[in-house]
């Protein structure tokens, strides 16, 4: 019971937060001669006599002439080092991570980490004979069956190591398809939309295509007339994301596919934003020839940087021969591996793709079942439209393009009105939001929506957490009007204060490696 | 670092009085009669305050309200301020004369306080010396790409000699026209500004690449499209000037030049000369044009030589019936339009309507935006 005589501080409107700062050196700077993590005992004489020194059997080309220059640090110090670094980090499991729209920062169940840590999966080697890894092959095969069902496609390859890797696989297959028909040189253009993921334009460019980007029509939807004007016998493919990064679902998507097919081009579906359509609509049903998934965005595996990534490419029947290897087939009760179809693009990654990620994705899908997947999408869409209502109640926040319409699983909002009133930019709001312990993301570059911010609540957050996130943004928007200095001097509660942006614009000042930093900024090392 | 500072003391006076600008003595008098007090001096002080306490800075400026007053009010050390001799005339001639002297002295940068009219005068004064310039926004019209986002950011950008510059267009509109409701910016000069796009106006778009690199990319994309045997009418502007640079040619940045097979075949052509060139060309002809100003005009603003007749002749010259224009623009220029279409105003509505629709706009090598071109009469 609290003492009624003691004054009680009023509960703040938003959470008070402060990031830890340890000023921790990098691990190499902790090198201390004489320290060790583990000091193994010297090999007994009898052992050496029996098996030799274990090194001289190696060919001399494989032997080091000098020992590895690793830091010498005691084990408890190593533990403290990494715990401190982890405290200087605003991790996905720590914050209400709805502020990184299009990243689909959903909960990655920990039980699946335990599952893939099982030695039966963890300790196998990709060079083992097929007969000794039947269980792992079965998981790959089962995951493919699930993704076939989700996409409607005839076969699905999981050899890609991430979303963009899978998009690359899509365009590589498309290129091979046209080459196989003698139209490889003629078809040198790929069409995408400005609100599709930039990975599509990038993958097409890397594959040697000219990229044509369609801008929205007057109503904010992908411009079908512009597509019709853009396609020709030179078009190799359309590569589009749907729903787009605005959260707007292209209502004419089937017609887009038809327009592409009418000139002999193929249609590739970027399903990075599939979280809002699981069990509701399928790539094949709109007529797409190939599609991709990000395991980490849609199927509950940790993101790249939070764990290895993984991607899948789905192919309609006529595209199956071009799929990358390996292909896992079930023959009777056995699982057998083949290097892909007769016109396969070859391998896009070594061995089988990222098997632990495939296993986690399959576990996630199997735990939910078909009805569960649809519930994921419905909850994600409900959460998004709930959050949109809360955000649009904040003076200065808008959702440009197709205004007034509901969105699927994310929204690209704009602070342009707030910026005009206060001069506070979206980047500054994001920096200030970090003072309350949450992530915030603007948009891909270039900014098409002015002063953008992109929120995607997914199915993982409770109503109370969405309310908290909206309250933080409302609080910061209020500060922009009433105490802008707090925002201009933010962050106040973060590990790092005030970074200079102008350096980001100037390649001559970039230092993207430690060595480059030492070379370009020798003065920084002296302090 | 030697910094030239020019204040146009009457810049911006016409704005609050609703006069759309302050070009011309009569307008200035009407504004002053309406009780408007000049704001340029105050904005000059805000910019120059950023430079106080700066050790290695020498200022060269004009007398009294042309700069010296603001420097004193901003707390700049007299010992580092050199006042140029000038008998003020109270007109744009003062700006021209100061800019000329500063360019001759070899200043690192000219910081001027004013609007488009002042920018034109500064550009006229420095002539072809390539002296970098930077505007403290204080005018009514600021269509040119040379202004800092605020007096403070312009001041901060003047602290160091620019280590990279880029070319921007100095535009101005005829105020008499604006007062009658028509906006028709003309291209008056190209000028070098510090390439620090984060602090320059018109930077509504954050891109990692600098604007200079983006314009280079557009020019490379356009050059990639050029074919042997085709005659190209290269329109005015910064983007098209970069195209000629890439071809190793020196053209007329503010005029229309004709190029065929990597060589200039005619310079600074008039409408009639352009028409003649297209009709007598040995093969097809096309026009290479940029987007001038912030309003998205492709034809009819700053490039009136490319008239309706010329455009129709271009269309007729191509037996394949291809689009007569190769249009290039940086992506940020398109995004700045906030979804509004590109515009065409050749003076002939029928020609405009023929051109209208989604067109290919080159934004880089192998990089094309499908963007809507609309007839200005419909807007």
Q: Is the peptide bond before A254 cis (omega within 30 degrees of 0)?
A: no
Chain A CB contacts of B199 under 8 Å are 502
Q: How much is the pLDDT for B181?
A: 47
Subunit contact B204:A447, Cβ cutoff 8 A: yes
* Alpha carbons A160 and A319: distance in angstroms, whole number: 16
Touching check for B371 and chain A: CB below 8 Å? yes
pLDDT above 80 (res B21)? no
Q: How much is the pLDDT for A290?
A: 98
* Alpha carbons A69 and A55: distance in angstroms, whole number: 19
- Length in residues, chain A: 527
Touching check for B144 and chain A: CB below 8 Å? no
Touching check for B366 and chain A: CB below 8 Å? yes
Output the six-digit token pair for A414: 């704009």
Nearest neighbour of B331 by CB, restricted to A220, A227, A446: A446
Mutate: best of B206, B363, B372, partner A, most A CBs <10 A:
B206
Subunit contact B370:A447, Cβ cutoff 8 A: no
Nearest neighbour of B358 by CB, restricted to A229, A427, A502: A229
- Phi then psi for residue B61, to 5 deg, are -150, 180
Chain A CB contacts of B335 under 8 Å are 446-448
Mutate: best of A205, A427, A446, partner B, most B CBs <10 A:
A446
Q: Could you report how far apart the first and last alpha carbons of chain A are, in Å?
A: 52
Buried b / exposed e along B41-51 (16+ C-beta atoms within 10 A): bebbbbbbbbb
Give me the mean pLDDT over the B295-313 stretch.
87
Inter-chain contacts counted by CB atoms under 8 A, chains A and B: 81
Q: Predicted ipTM?
A: 0.85
Q: How much is the pLDDT for B197?
A: 53
Contact (CB, 8 A) for A347 and A324 = yes
**Short-list B245, B243, B227, CA closest to B235:** B243
Contact (CB, 8 A) for A266 and A298 = no
Chain B CB contacts of A223 under 8 Å are 358, 370, 372
Touching check for A521 and chain B: CB below 8 Å? no
* Alpha carbons A175 and A219: distance in angstroms, whole number: 33
Minimal-distance CA residue of chain A relative to B210: A505
Touching check for A226 and chain B: CB below 8 Å? yes
Touching check for B369 and chain A: CB below 8 Å? yes
Subunit contact A450:B370, Cβ cutoff 8 A: no
Touching check for B357 and chain A: CB below 8 Å? yes
More confident residue, A467 or B168: A467
Chain B: nearest CA to A488, how far in angstroms?
Answer: 14
Minimal-distance CA residue of chain A relative to B197: A505
Subunit contact B366:A205, Cβ cutoff 8 A: yes
Touching check for A222 and chain B: CB below 8 Å? no
Q: How much is the pLDDT for A211?
A: 98
**Short-list A379, A162, A140, CA closest to A275:** A379
* Alpha carbons A359 and A346: distance in angstroms, whole number: 23
Classified as helix, coil or strand, A159 is strand
Looking at the DSSP bridge assignments, the partners of residue B373 are B342, B357
Subunit contact B206:A215, Cβ cutoff 8 A: no
Q: How much is the pLDDT for B179?
A: 53
Q: How much is the pLDDT for B52?
A: 85
Strand-pair category, A311-315 with A155-160: antiparallel
Touching check for B320 and chain A: CB below 8 Å? no
Chain B: nearest CA to A303, how far in angstroms?
Answer: 24
Subunit contact B370:A223, Cβ cutoff 8 A: yes
Q: How much is the pLDDT for B16?
A: 59
Per-residue pLDDT in tens (0 to 9) along chain A, 527 residues? 556 677 777 777 888 899 999 999 999 999 999 999 888 898 899 988 998 887 888 898 989 889 888 999 999 999 999 999 999 988 889 999 999 998 999 999 999 999 999 999 999 999 999 999 999 999 999 999 999 999 999 999 999 999 999 999 999 999 999 999 999 999 999 999 999 999 999 999 999 999 999 999 888 899 999 999 999 999 999 999 999 999 999 999 999 999 999 999 999 999 999 999 999 999 999 999 999 999 999 999 988 665 688 999 999 999 999 999 999 999 999 999 999 888 999 999 999 999 999 999 999 999 999 999 999 999 999 999 999 999 999 999 999 998 888 999 999 999 999 998 998 999 999 999 999 999 999 998 888 999 999 999 999 999 999 999 999 999 999 999 999 999 989 999 998 877 666 666 666 778 888 888 888 888 776 54
Q: Chain B, 204-233: which have a CB under 8 Å from a chain A CB?
A: 204-208, 210
Give the pTM: 0.82
Mutate: best of B296, B362, B372, B379, partner A, most A CBs <10 A:
B372
Classified as helix, coil or strand, A93 is coil
Mutate: best of B213, B334, B339, partner A, most A CBs <10 A:
B339
Contact (CB, 8 A) for A159 and A349 = yes
Nearest neighbour of B370 by CB, restricted to A230, A442, A505: A230
- Phi then psi for residue A231, to 5 deg, are -75, 150
Touching check for B370 and chain A: CB below 8 Å? yes
Subunit contact A446:B332, Cβ cutoff 8 A: yes
Classified as helix, coil or strand, A394 is coil
Nearest neighbour of B206 by CB, restricted to A215, A226, A446: A446
More confident residue, B347 or A413: A413
pLDDT above 50 (res B62)? yes
What average pLDDT does the structure give for chain B? 86
pLDDT above 90 (res B171)? no
Where is A413: in which H helix or E strand? strand A411-414
Q: How much is the pLDDT for B202?
A: 40
Alpha helices in B233-356 (DSSP H): 238-246, 271-280, 308-317, 331-335, 349-355
Q: How much is the pLDDT for B205?
A: 37
Nearest neighbour of A447 by CB, restricted to B205, B339, B359: B205
Chain B CB contacts of A201 under 8 Å are 367
Nearest neighbour of A446 by CB, restricted to B335, B360, B367: B335
Subunit contact A445:B206, Cβ cutoff 8 A: yes
Q: How much is the pLDDT for B140?
A: 75
Q: How much is the pLDDT for B182?
A: 52
Subunit contact B369:A209, Cβ cutoff 8 A: no
Q: Chain A, 172-211: which have a CB under 8 Å from a chain B CB?
A: 191, 194, 201, 205, 209-211
Q: Chain A, 349-408: which have a CB under 8 Å from a chain B CB?
A: 401
> How many C-beta atoms lie closer than 10 Å to residue B282's C-beta?
10
Touching check for B267 and chain A: CB below 8 Å? no
Classified as helix, coil or strand, A323 is coil
Chain B: nearest CA to A334, how far in angstroms?
Answer: 48
Q: Could you report how far apart the first and last alpha carbons of chain B are, in Å?
A: 48
Q: Is the alpha carbon torsion for A445, A450, A451, A457 positive or negative?
A: negative
- Phi then psi for residue A116, to 5 deg, are -80, -10
Chain A CB contacts of B201 under 8 Å are none
Subunit contact B197:A505, Cβ cutoff 8 A: yes
> Angle at Cα A349 formed by Cα A347 and Cα A350, nearest 5°?
95
| DSSP-derived secondary structure for B220-239 | HHHHHH--TT-EEEE-SSHH
């Amino acid at each position: 019971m609290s003492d009624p005589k003691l004054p009680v501080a009023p509960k703040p409107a938003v959470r008070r937060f402060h990031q830890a700062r340890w000023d921790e050196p990098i691990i190499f700077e902790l090198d201390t001669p004489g320290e060790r993590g583990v000091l193994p005992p010297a090999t007994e004489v009898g052992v050496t006599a029996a098996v030799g020194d274990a090194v001289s059997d190696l060919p001399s080309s494989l032997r080091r002439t000098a020992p590895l220059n690793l830091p010498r640090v005691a084990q408890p110090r190593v533990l403290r080092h990494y715990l401190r670094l982890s405290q200087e980090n605003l991790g996905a499991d720590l914050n209400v991570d709805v502020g990184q729209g299009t990243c689909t920062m959903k909960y990655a169940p920990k039980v699946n980490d335990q599952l893939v840590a099982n030695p039966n999966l963890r300790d196998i080697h990709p060079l083992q004979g097929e007969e000794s890894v039947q269980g792992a092959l079965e998981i790959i095969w089962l995951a493919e069956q699930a993704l076939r069902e989700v996409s409607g496609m005839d076969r699905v390859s999981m050899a890609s190591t991430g979303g963009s890797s899978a998009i690359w696989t899509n365009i590589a297959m498309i290129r091979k398809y046209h080459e196989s028909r003698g139209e490889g040189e003629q078809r040198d253009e790929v069409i995408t939309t400005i609100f599709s993921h930039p990975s599509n334009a990038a993958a097409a460019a890397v594959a040697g295509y000219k990229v044509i980007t369609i801008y929205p029509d007057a109503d904010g939807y992908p411009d079908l007339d512009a597509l019709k004007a853009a396609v020709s016998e030179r078009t190799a493919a359309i590569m589009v994301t749907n729903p787009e990064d605005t959260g707007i679902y292209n209502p004419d998507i089937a017609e887009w596919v038809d327009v592409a097919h009418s000139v002999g081009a193929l249609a590739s579906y970027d399903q990075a934003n599939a979280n809002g359509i699981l069990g509701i609509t399928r790539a094949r049903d709109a007529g797409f020839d190939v599609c991709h998934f990000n395991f980490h965005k849609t199927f509950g595996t940790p993101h790249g940087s939070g764990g290895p990534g993984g991607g899948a490419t789905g192919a309609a029947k006529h595209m199956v021969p071009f799929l990358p290897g390996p292909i896992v087939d079930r023959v009777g009760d056995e699982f057998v591996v083949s290097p892909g179809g007769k016109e396969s693009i070859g391998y896009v990654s070594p061995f089988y793709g990222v098997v632990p990620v495939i296993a986690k994705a399959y576990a996630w899908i199997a735990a939910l079942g078909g009805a569960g997947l649809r519930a994921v999408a419905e909850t994600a869409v409900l959460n998004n439209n709930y959050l949109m209502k809360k955000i649009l109640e904040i003076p200065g926040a808008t959702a440009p393009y197709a205004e007034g319409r509901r969105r699927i699983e994310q929204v690209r909002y704009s602070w342009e009105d707030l910026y005009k009133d206060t001069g506070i930019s979206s980047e500054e709001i994001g920096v200030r939001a970090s003072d309350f312990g949450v992530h915030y993301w603007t948009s891909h570059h270039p900014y098409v929506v002015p002063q953008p911010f992109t929120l995607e609540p997914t199915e993982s957050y409770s109503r109370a957490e969405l309310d908290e996130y909206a309250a933080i943004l409302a609080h910061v928007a209020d500060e922009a009007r009433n105490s802008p200095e707090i925002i201009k001097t933010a962050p106040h509660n973060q590990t790092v204060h005030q970074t200079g942006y102008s350096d980001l614009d100037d390649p001559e000042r970039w230092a993207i490696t430690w060595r480059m930093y030492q070379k370009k900024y020798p003065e920084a090392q002296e302090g | 670092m030697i910094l030239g500072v020019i204040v146009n003391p009457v810049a911006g006076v016409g704005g609050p009085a609703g006069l759309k600008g302050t070009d011309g003595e009569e307008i200035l008098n009407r504004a002053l009669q309406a009780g408007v007090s000049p704001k340029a001096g105050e904005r000059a002080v805000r910019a120059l305050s950023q430079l106080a306490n700066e050790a290695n800075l020498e200022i060269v400026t004009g007398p009294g309200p042309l700069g010296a007053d603001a420097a004193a009010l901003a707390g700049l050390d007299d010992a580092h301020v050199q006042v140029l001799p000038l008998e003020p005339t109270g007109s744009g001639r003062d700006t021209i004369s100061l800019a000329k002297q500063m360019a001759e002295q070899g200043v690192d940068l000219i910081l001027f306080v004013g609007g488009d009219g002042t920018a034109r005068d500064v550009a006229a004064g420095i002539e072809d010396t390539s002296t970098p310039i930077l505007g403290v926004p204080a005018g009514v019209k600021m269509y040119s790409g040379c202004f800092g986002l605020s007096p403070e950011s312009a001041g901060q950008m003047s602290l160091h000699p620019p280590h990279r510059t880029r070319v921007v267009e100095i535009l101005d509109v005829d105020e008499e026209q604006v007062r009658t409701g028509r906006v028709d910016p003309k291209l008056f000069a190209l000028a070098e500004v510090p390439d620090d796009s984060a602090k320059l106006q018109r930077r509504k778009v954050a891109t990692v690449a600098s604007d200079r690199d983006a314009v280079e990319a557009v020019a490379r994309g356009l050059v990639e499209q050029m074919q042997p045997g085709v005659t190209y009418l290269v329109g005015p502007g910064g983007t098209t000037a970069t195209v000629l640079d890439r071809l190793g040619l020196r053209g007329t940045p503010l005029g229309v030049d004709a190029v065929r097979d990597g060589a200039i075949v005619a310079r600074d052509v008039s409408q009639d000369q352009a028409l003649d060139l297209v009709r007598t060309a040995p093969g097809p002809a096309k026009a290479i044009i940029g987007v001038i100003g912030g309003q998205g005009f492709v034809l009819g603003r700053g490039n009136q030589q490319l008239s309706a007749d010329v455009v129709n002749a271009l269309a007729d010259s191509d037996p394949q019936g291809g689009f007569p224009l190769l249009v290039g623009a940086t992506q940020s220029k398109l995004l700045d339009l906030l979804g509004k279409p590109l515009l065409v105003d050749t003076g002939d509505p029928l020609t405009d309507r023929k051109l209208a629709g989604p067109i290919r706009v080159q934004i880089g090598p192998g990089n094309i935006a499908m963007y809507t071109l609309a007839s200005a009469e419909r807007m």
